[in-house]
Structure 1
Amino acid sequence: MTKDKSKVFLFIDDGPAPIAELETPIVFDLDTKKLTDGEHILKIVSHSPSGKEGIRKISFTVANGPAIRVEGLKNKDVVDGTLSLMINAYDKGNQKSFLINGSETPQTIPFWIWIIIILFSGWALYYEITSANMQ
């Protein structure tokens, strides 16, 4: 270890062995494809040239797998009867080209759009009836 630089040790999820030992300053590419999807903790332990130690923990979530969209059921919903669910899973592709097939989830029309359409149609019908009576 060089005497004028700090050294850092990188750990993932309280692992016993560091995934990297680096002298600072450094740019490190963390390959999340080697981690399972879900929550993880990156722990950085530093050793300064004077012998002092510092620790920093950073929580992050890995989502390398296909994205999953569910329409018709939300987290912690209270439900009964039969549910009609629309489920879509799509991948990000190889990140060098855009994958369009299956990358968009079709969605139902929100209820407030239906209300606006009904109100507008009612107003248009009222307008037609009242303007026809004036002629």
Structure 2
Amino acid sequence: MDHKSKVIIFVDDDLQPIGEFDAPVNFELDTRKLKDGFHQLKIVSKDPAGKEGVRVIPFKVRNGPAIAVEGLKDNDEVDGVLPLMINAYGKGNQKQFLIDGSETPKSVPSWLISGIIAFVAWAIYFTITSLG
């Protein structure tokens, strides 16, 4: 009779486990083999008496290039022509930092432009009233 609990690991609804181990186990899940999107990790444990426990952990994989869109948000109500800025960039080999294309340019918010105009107008007013 085995005196250790077993851990069986499944991904999504696969009937074939990706691993079966004696507990405790250190395990590396290689998400590069999974498509981008939602998945679930299913862990089944069996103790020496034959009782089973199950834990399901949902997770999201995003190994592909990141996509940033400015000018349209989820569930926006729109009409006419939409000017969009779209950027896509990958993580590279993760051993070397990529600067080119890794930052998404964004337009300057209108509240910031209004604030700068208001500050410049106040500074001009203050200068004119202080001299007189």
Q: Which category describes the TM-score, using the shorter chain as reference length? A: over 0.9
| Alignment: residue pair count | 132
Partner of 1:106: 105
Deviation at 1:128, TM superposition (A): 2.0
Normalization by structure 1: what TM-score? 0.94
1:112 maps to a residue whose letter is W
Matches within 5 A, 1:1-135: 3-132=2-131, 134=132
Alpha-carbon RMSD: 1.1
Please give the alpha-carbon distance, in whole angstroms, between the structure 1 residues aligned to 2:3 and 2:115. 68
Please give the alpha-carbon distance, in whole angstroms, between the structure 1 residues aligned to 2:124 and 2:13. 67
1:25 maps to a residue whose letter is P
- Structure 2: 5+ residue runs without aligned partners? none
1:42 maps to a residue whose letter is L
Please give the alpha-carbon distance, in whole angstroms, between the structure 2 residues aligned to 1:27 and 1:112. 50
Give aligned-pair identity as a percent.
Answer: 60
Please give the alpha-carbon distance, in whole angstroms, between the structure 1 residues aligned to 2:3 and 2:94. 39
Deviation sequence 1:32-82 (CA, Å, 0-9, x none)? 000000000000011011111000000000000000000111000111111
- Structure 1: 5+ residue runs without aligned partners? none
Give secondary structure in 1 for the equivalent of 2:74: coil
2:56 maps to a residue whose letter is K
Please identify runs of 4+ aligned residues in structure 1 that moved more than 6 A. none
